[in-house]
Amino acid sequence: MSKELLRMEGITKIYGNGFMANKDVTFSVSEGEIHALIGENGAGKTTLMKILFGEEDCQNGKIYINGEEAHIANPLDAIAKGVGMVHQHFMQVPNLSVAENIMLGIEPGRGMVFDKKKAIQLTTEAAEKFQLHVDPNTLIRDLSVGYKQKVELLKALIRGVKVLILDEPTAVLTPQETAELFVQLKVLRDQGYGIIFISHKLEEVMELCDRCTVLRHGRVTGHGDIKDLDPVKLSRLMVERDVVMEIEKEKSAPADIILHVEKLNYLNDLGKHMIKDLSFGIRAGEVVGIAGVEGNGQTDLSEIITGLRRRTNGEITLNGTETEGKTIREIRDLGLAHISEDRMKYGIAPDLSIRDNIASIYLDNKQFTKGPLLNVRELNKFVDHCIEEFEIACTGGDEAIHLLSGGNIQKVIIAREFSSGANLIVANQPTRGIDVGTTDLIRRLLVKYTREKKIGALLISSDLNEILEVSDRLLVMKDGQIVAQFNDVKSVTAEQLGEYMLGVKSMTPEEMGDLF
């Protein structure tokens, strides 16, 4: 039997509003083990890990590290006791080097003098020891996402932690980068580390992990060895029903062009050319997917189309109207709906109710107004219909939206945008960090609305399974340009996509064909 590094026993967490996030949860990680923690959004995974990492307290329960009871006051205390966390969104200073980022807070030197040479030496030694090779002198802003993740791992390991929490670590990686990460995690496992792997990608859990614990509604619904489980069993434990992992869909029948992008260019505030002479179109009745390693212009593209940022030059027409100089509201009125990559920043007003968040784009809609006044009765009926149709788990429309799980917050956004009457939906990472049940719902809605309502959809996603399942036509972006197009998406593998995403391969214009 391997030594138990960590045990959380009988953890119960109840928030001030009476919401029970965790109920009598027992969870353990052994030396030399990769342990998956899975469950839908709102299942209690994040809360449990926040308790372990000292970001939350709990009403009941105990934590044992190396067999001794531990009281963890804050994240620094957690690290001192041997628990580290690699967050989904990296906590790094872009303009500092790898070594400087890794040494933040534990800087070598005397007094106020930073010993850069020593920092580089310590970083190099740690990189060699843990087989996480990265140049200590490179600036963070110049690294790929995969290398940034190595830096996050080194930051934790160099501080002496023995238990590593990884929150959705493959969300922005290519298949090749994911495969490399898995090799590195297995090296750490073989060196005796305990790794908690949080993921919504069940195929990754099956490939990488040794054991798993499943949470649902704050309670443990299952645990055991991965070898005794399969994705169907895990899905059933997570969502109380089987989730069909493949989407059956009719062949698309593209009609008129809704969105036309011609020779689009964008230089960011640092003068970097993020989008270069990019041209493509989207037709009614099709989902056009865009794959690419994060930082290759996809987010810039979506924010330019939706009016969140201004292009440098080029043309964008939506339903025949040029969008240059128009406000976000005016672009929406042309027929655009938007599911933002950052739902908390751009998707909702956290302090308002579910009702107010859904109603926010309908305040001047004739259906819900009586002269200068709101028709509150009609608006309430509409919001209640949205809650029911889009399966939003809440106490009612008056509930504050920030009290919902991430998955249900996303359902509110989906309900608002899909009900808006728009004929173009720009969906940027619509299922990132979302549970498998909500993910399945969103993907099916994208397909359904393109078929039944003849809308066009632009899907930007780092989940290659999602891109391959949902897209009717698939584009690959690298360095702000389209480097590949696939019209027969079913014939493409994630590995092939990865080669184009990483720049190993690219298509000629003749091979790509008509991008409109």
387: left (phi over 0), alpha (psi -120 to 50) or beta: alpha
Q: CA distances (Å), 334 to each of 278, 281, 420, in order?
A: 22, 16, 12
pLDDT tier for residue 386 given thresholds of 50, 70 and 90: very high
Q: Which residues pair with 428 in a beta bridge?
A: 460
Looking at residue 152, its pLDDT comes to: 92
Percent of the chain whose predicted confidence (pLDDT) is above 90: 66
Phi, psi for 229 (deg, rounded to 5):
-125, 170
Please provide the size of the chain in residues: 516
Span 107-145, pLDDT tens digits: 888 888 899 999 999 999 999 999 899 999 999 999 888
Looking at residue 258, its pLDDT comes to: 98
Phi, psi for 71 (deg, rounded to 5):
-110, 110
More confident residue, 131 or 337: 337
Span 348-374, pLDDT tens digits: 999 999 999 998 988 888 888 888 888
Which has the closest alpha carbon to 323: 278, 259, 417?
259
Residue found by looking up tokens 């690699």 in the block = 86
Return the structure tokens found at 442: 């969103």
Give SS3 for 118. helix
Which residues have C-beta within 8 Å of that of residue 179, sequence separation ≥ 6?
none
pLDDT tier for residue 70 given thresholds of 50, 70 and 90: very high
Q: Please, are residues 331 and 319 in contact by the beta-carbon 8 Å criterion?
A: no
Question: Which segments within 89-235 are labelled E, that is strand?
Answer: 109-110, 113-114, 163-167, 194-198, 211-216, 219-225
Whether 23 shows a pLDDT value over 90: the answer reads: yes
Span 294-334, pLDDT tens digits: 778 999 999 999 999 999 999 999 999 999 999 999 999 99
Return the structure tokens found at 80: 């001192």
Phi, psi for 283 (deg, rounded to 5):
-105, 160
pTM: 0.68
- The alpha-carbon radius of gyration of the chain (Å, integer) is 24
Return the structure tokens found at 9: 């026993």
pLDDT tier for residue 242 given thresholds of 50, 70 and 90: low
Q: Please, are residues 293 and 312 in contact by the beta-carbon 8 Å criterion?
A: no
266-281: b (≥16 Cβ within 10 Å) or e: bbeeeeeebbeebebb
Exposed/middle/buried for 89, CB within 10 Å: 0-12, 13-18, 19+?
Answer: exposed
Span 72-103, pLDDT tens digits: 999 999 999 999 998 877 889 999 999 999 99
Span 156-168, pLDDT tens digits: 999 999 999 998 8
Looking at residue 182, its pLDDT comes to: 94
Percent of the chain whose predicted confidence (pLDDT) is above 70: 98
Looking at residue 450, its pLDDT comes to: 95
pLDDT tier for residue 192 given thresholds of 50, 70 and 90: very high
141: left (phi over 0), alpha (psi -120 to 50) or beta: alpha
Looking at residue 244, its pLDDT comes to: 54
Whether 17 shows a pLDDT value over 70: the answer reads: no
Whether 428 shows a pLDDT value over 60: the answer reads: yes
* The residue type at 261: V
Which residues have C-beta within 8 Å of that of residue 366, sequence separation ≥ 6?
none
Q: Please, are residues 102 and 92 in contact by the beta-carbon 8 Å criterion?
A: no
Whether 514 shows a pLDDT value over 60: the answer reads: yes
Beta pairing class for 287-291 and 456-460: parallel
Beta pairing class for 33-38 and 194-198: parallel
Q: What is the mean pLDDT of residues 277-296?
A: 93
